[in-house]
Amino acid sequence: MKTFRIGGVHPSENKLSAGKKIEPMALPKQAVFPLSQHIGAPAVPCVAKGDMVKVGTKIADAGGFVSAAIFSSVSGKVAKIDSVIDASGYRKPAIFIDVVGDEWEESIDRSEELVTKCDLKPEEIVAKIKDAGVVGMGGACFPTHVKLTPPPGSKAECVIINAVECEPYLTADHSLMLEKPEQILMGVSLLMKAVNVTVGYIAIENNKPDAIALMTEKAKNFPGIQVVPLKVKYPQGGEKQLIDAVIGRQVPAPPAIPIAVGAVVQNVGTAYAVYEAVIKNKPLFERIVTVTGKSLANPSNFLTRMGTPMSQLIEAAGGMPEDTGKIIGGGPMMGKALLNAEVPICKGSSGVLLMSEKESLRGEEQNCMRCAKCVAACPMGLEPYLLAKLGEYADWERAEKEDIMTCIECGCCTFTCPSNRPLLDWVRLCKNTVGGIIRERNMKK
Amino acid sequence: MSPHVHSGDSVSKNMRWVIIAMLPAMLWSFYAFGMGAVIVTAVSVASCVFFEWAINKYILKNDKCTVCDLSAVVTGILLAFNLPSNLPLYIIIIGALFAIGVVKMTFGGLGCNLFNPALAARVFLLISFPVKMTVFPEVGQMTAYADAVTAATPMANLADTSLLDLFLGNVGGSLGEVSALCLLLGLVILLASRTITWHIPVSILVTVFALTGLLHIAYPVEVATPWHHLFGGGLMLGAIFMATDYVTSPMTPKGQLIYGFCIGFLTVAIRVFGAYPEGMSFAILIMNAFVPLINNACKPKRFAKEVKK
Amino acid sequence: MNTILVAVIALGVTALVLAGVLFVVSKQFAVEEDPRVGQVAEVLPQANCGGCGYPGCAGFADACVKAGSLDGLLCPVGGQAVMTKVADILGLSADAAEPKVAVVRCNGTCEHRPRTAVYDGAVSCKIAHATGCGETGCAFGCLGCGDCVAACKFDAIRMNPTTGLPEVDAEKCTACGACVKACPRMIIELRNKGKNGRRMVVLCVNKDKGAITRKACEVGCIGCGKCQKVCPFDAITIANNLAYIDYEKCKLCRKCEDECPQHSIVAVNFPPRKPKPAATEAPKTAPAAEAKSAAKAPETTETPSTQTAPSTPNTQKS
């Protein structure tokens, strides 16, 4: 069975909510939409205080090419445009909407009927995806239409669908595959058509045998699409690792992007969103969110409208356990600890994880004993112990030479360190600083 | 700050595995050398732990408990492994002080030392007390074999010793080095628990075997067979427990192979051509000094990039 | 006997030969240098802190000699005294510069600013800064990881474990600016020391709107503008919901201190104020420097220069 070649770790999977049905989440009283839910320029609000909106009404325009529009997930009245603490921990501008009823835009096709025909041209598909504000649903939130517009001179050869869900705990993609396999496959076909290729791979880790079986079965009706089971290893869901695992090619260091080796990688959630956007005219305003945690009474997968506060999801999953030490937006390896449970669900919120105090406690930091386990674990072939030291000593030049910019911040080094050293914290600081220096240098040129 | 989960691996866990891996050899030494071995081991471990604790608390004024990581215990056992069982106790304590106080703590404690503490202490003692360090008691069925560290015609003796005795440990020597079988058992434990990788021990053993094999073919009389070299003296102990010390070995597989090869080469060179009959300790210490250089030269294979240099 | 003699002679000869070599080399390869550079470097503090903007004291000395005038050149460590000496050597005049001191503009002690989260990352402000609000609800205030303490070469800044804030020892502080650069939140500012070390400071850098600030911290500036109105010297400006006192213009009248509803404006090193009716308006900060340093020490960010300096607890965070 295939997997990526360098490094990797095996965190315990803890897929507590696996196999649970997707349940629709109740509407919130007030929905909050941060304007930066994606990588790139923040969206620009196109509604004002007091405006009435419906489900699916555009409330913010894309702020540039690398940006995405935002759509209301509820019907009601715009209460204010203010700031809210989002998953980053910073206060960011956001649109607040008071919910009244549940009235949808007429253009949205709400029928459950499966459509497997589409006569649109590739450009039309991309345009529709763009108009629906679809972004990468895996967590990075890169606007999808940008990925589907290869820069001149590069040619896509295949579409790879990321359904590995290598983060422990999370099961959002898994449950989606079990319930909407045909829609996903249709979405993949649309993506393949958009970039003009005939080959599509759906990569699934073999800890989800039911999903592999179901998708393989259904994929028979969709020409060119092939399900690729992969050996379980974190961070297989990293774009570069995934391409390496599936087609055995390695994407060169930044600024090269996956298209350089002919691959377009999309998350399985994105494929579903693409289906809904193109076939059903439904912009991206809801997604599957896993709410999980060892002490949580009822770990679940919820179909949640964007803007719902996480506290409501936690309540629906059995309430906040008393021993909660950390609330994490996303998975435990790459997710961010949140300041409070009022953070709204955004396009990239794949999960809410409640960790007990004991579980989330970091061990006491000890001296590095140079065991080289971080070097063995790094999927990018870097030397985290060295990069962390360079970050601590502010030796940015040396860090750049040691290829710090290729770090994907997967956290394998910190995960594996026997001395409990916060390696990634330092590496991240170092990477951000070096990145700033490089940008400055490029500006001068 | 992500990641929020941890593998659960820890310094003390790794050290515990090292100690477990050393148990077979330790028990064998108790069996072969009796009470003397027990006393030497106990004194060595106790004094190493004491010095670690005392220096940390009173000189470095550090509140953290560095004894708990068990690295001092490992150093203590390794030091004992390198000593003859009838060594006066004060020499052991001096050795422990040198290992912990000079070689380890002056550099900042665990992880910062350039040289393997136990090995440096052994060499220090070997030079300071050459006679006491090289007179081994005759216990049990031991032959007149003097360990490689005795100055008296070790190679001739080495060639005369039965291979089986060398392998099992029915020979004289310092505590831990006599039984190749027990040490190999330790290697299996270390590998199985993923405490170390195979690169260093295997590269050392293969290099020594190959080189001594070639030399044996060329000079069958002067040079003992490669098997004798492999199982005799401190080679096994050094290759499995000393050279693989995390702190003083290179970080990348490639670097580790180079390191292992150089140690093997130096060991054979010193054993066969040098004035000292035993070369393992010196070879490892010399290569310890080169580790930063090896680390700089051997980078891991970067993702989507040719290996540098 | 003979061997000793031989050894002595051999060593002696070797020494002579090498001395000769050294002599020749030093003459042959001598570097011509303005002798005044050396002289200037000698009077400099040799702290090599880089506070002047040049690479070390030698670099600064070189710059002074080459510049021809001392305008804009200042050794923050040595201050006026050293600059006068430098001016004497070079036959120039030195501008009179006010001595400065580093001021930590955050009063978010554990008491004033409740901790709402726990930060468990690496002990570095720069890293904690990336998490946004850090441990409190304030995205602007001190993170308390001690980057400034680590940056200080003069042991002049230390963490106070009760307040969780760094404290500047005005006696030791040389205003080299290392802590200013180290702080990722730009909290530390170099301000005029003021007469007898007296100064008025807004101990807050929070730019959030008043309501948000107030939620996060009891003593955060809400930018209400009362101080600006009361100031007779136009020394106070309000920008981004935050008041700032221009130390060049401030005449230390202390009117703003009484006016501030949040007690964000703090008077440092003033003698005890005589009790007067106005004091009731500001019960918390009105007790003046001495009372503060004695009884309420944990509440002030700045250690009033001399009184508490010796008793500053030895709590350097590593």
Look up the ipTM and state it: 0.83
Domains within chain B, CATH numbers bracketed? 11-297 (1.10.3430)
> In this model, does residue B142 exceed pLDDT 60?
no
> In this model, does residue B140 exceed pLDDT 90?
no
The answer to whether C150 contacts chain A (CB < 8 Å) is: no
State both tokens at A359. Answer: 């579980």
Measured between alpha carbons, how far is A336 from A342 in angstroms, rounded to an integer?
Answer: 14
pLDDT of res. A53: 92
Counted residue by residue, chain B has a size of: 309
> In this model, does residue C317 exceed pLDDT 80?
no
pLDDT of res. C291: 37
Per-residue pLDDT of chain A (445 residues), as tens digits, is 888 888 889 998 889 888 888 999 999 999 999 998 888 889 999 999 999 999 999 999 988 888 999 999 999 999 988 888 887 777 888 999 999 988 888 888 888 888 888 888 889 999 999 999 999 887 778 899 988 888 888 888 999 999 999 999 999 999 999 999 999 999 999 999 999 899 999 999 999 999 999 999 999 989 899 999 999 998 998 989 999 999 988 888 877 888 888 899 999 999 999 999 999 999 999 999 999 998 888 899 999 999 999 999 999 988 888 888 888 888 889 888 887 788 899 888 889 999 888 877 788 888 888 888 999 999 999 999 999 999 988 889 999 999 899 999 999 999 999 988 999 999 999 999 999 999 999 988 7
Domain limits of chain C?
37-90, 100-296
What is the pLDDT confidence band of residue B158, given thresholds at 50, 70 and 90?
low
SS3 labels along B137-178: CCCCCCCCCCCCCCCCCHHHHHHHCCHHHHHHCCCCCCCCCC
Under DSSP, is residue B259 helix (H, G, I), strand (E, B) or coil? helix
CA distances (Å), B213 to each of A36, B168, B221, B236, B272, in order?
69, 21, 13, 17, 12
What is the pLDDT confidence band of residue B159, given thresholds at 50, 70 and 90?
low
pLDDT of res. B302: 84
> In this model, does residue C287 exceed pLDDT 50?
no
Of A191, A186, A246, A245, give the one whose Cα is nearest residue A219: A186
- Cα dihedral C271, C275, C277, C282 sign: positive
Question: What residues does A267 pair with on adjacent strands?
Answer: A162
State both tokens at B231. Answer: 């199982």
The answer to whether B1 contacts chain C (CB < 8 Å) is: yes
CB C168, CB C303: distance < 8 Å:
yes
Lowest mean pLDDT among A117-126, A130-139, B102-111, C306-315: C306-315
pLDDT of res. B161: 66
Return the half-sphere exposure (C-beta side, CA atoms, 13 A cut-off) of residue A236: 30
Give chain B's mean pLDDT. Answer: 82
The answer to whether C126 contacts chain A (CB < 8 Å) is: yes
Sheet holding A70-71, edge to edge: A44-45, A58-61, A70-71
Side chain identity at residue C47, one-letter code = A
The answer to whether A340 contacts chain C (CB < 8 Å) is: yes
Could you give the percent of chain B with pLDDT greater than 90? 32
Domains within chain A, CATH numbers bracketed? 122-280 (3.40.50.11540), 373-444 (no CATH)
List all residues of chain A from 345 to 364 with a beta carbon under 8 Å from chain C.
360-362
Give the residue, B134 or A250, on which the prediction is more confident: A250
Nearest by CB: A419 against B2, B11, B303: B11
Locate tokens 């004894």: which residue? Answer: B67
Side chain identity at residue A433, one-letter code = T
A403 neighbourhood in chain B, CB within 8 Å:
302, 305
The answer to whether A117 contacts chain C (CB < 8 Å) is: no
Lowest mean pLDDT among B193-197, C8-12, C44-48: C44-48
The answer to whether B5 contacts chain C (CB < 8 Å) is: no
Interface of C with B (CB under 8 A): 119-122, 127, 131
Give chain C's mean pLDDT. Answer: 77
Cβ distance of A90 and C132 shorter than 8 Å? yes
What is the pLDDT confidence band of residue C197, given thresholds at 50, 70 and 90?
confident
Name the packing angle between helices B89-96 and B71-81 (round to 10°): 140
Write down the architecture of domain C37-90 according to CATH: Orthogonal Bundle (1.10)
List all residues of chain A from 209 to 248 with a beta carbon under 8 Å from chain B.
240, 244
Chains in contact with chain B (at least 3 beta-carbon pairs closer than 8 A)? A, C
What count of CB pairs under 8 Å joins A to C?
A: 45
State both tokens at B149. Answer: 């560290």
What is the pLDDT confidence band of residue C144, given thresholds at 50, 70 and 90?
confident
State both tokens at B40. Answer: 């030497």
Taking CA–CA distances from C128, the nearest residue in chain A reads: A425
Cβ distance of C208 and A362 shorter than 8 Å? no
Taking CA–CA distances from C122, the nearest residue in chain B reads: B1
pLDDT of res. B209: 92
pLDDT of res. A92: 86
Q: Which of A218-232, C79-93, C238-252, C265-279 has the highest mean pLDDT?
A: A218-232
Taking CA–CA distances from C127, the nearest residue in chain B reads: B1
* Torsion from C-alpha of B1, B7, B10, B14, nearest 10 degrees: -150
Measured between alpha carbons, how far is A383 from B252 in angstroms, rounded to an integer?
Answer: 9
Measured between alpha carbons, how far is A385 from A201 in angstroms, rounded to an integer?
Answer: 35
The answer to whether A93 contacts chain C (CB < 8 Å) is: no
pLDDT of res. A203: 94
pLDDT of res. C135: 76
Taking CA–CA distances from A357, the nearest residue in chain B reads: B4
Nearest by CB: C132 against A89, A429, A432: A89
What is the pLDDT confidence band of residue C273, given thresholds at 50, 70 and 90?
low
CB A83, CB A95: distance < 8 Å:
no
Taking CA–CA distances from C117, the nearest residue in chain A reads: A339
Query: Which H or E element spans position A185?
Result: helix A181-194
- Range list of H helices, C120-254: 125-129, 147-151, 178-182, 210-216, 226-230
Nearest by CB: C133 against A89, A360, A426: A89
Quick: pLDDT tens for C128-142: 887 766 777 788 888
pLDDT of res. A404: 92
pLDDT of res. C89: 82
> In this model, does residue B172 exceed pLDDT 80?
no
What is the pLDDT confidence band of residue C301, given thresholds at 50, 70 and 90?
very low
3-state helix, strand, coil in chain B (%, to 5): 65, 0, 35
> In this model, does residue B191 exceed pLDDT 50?
yes
pLDDT of res. B1: 64
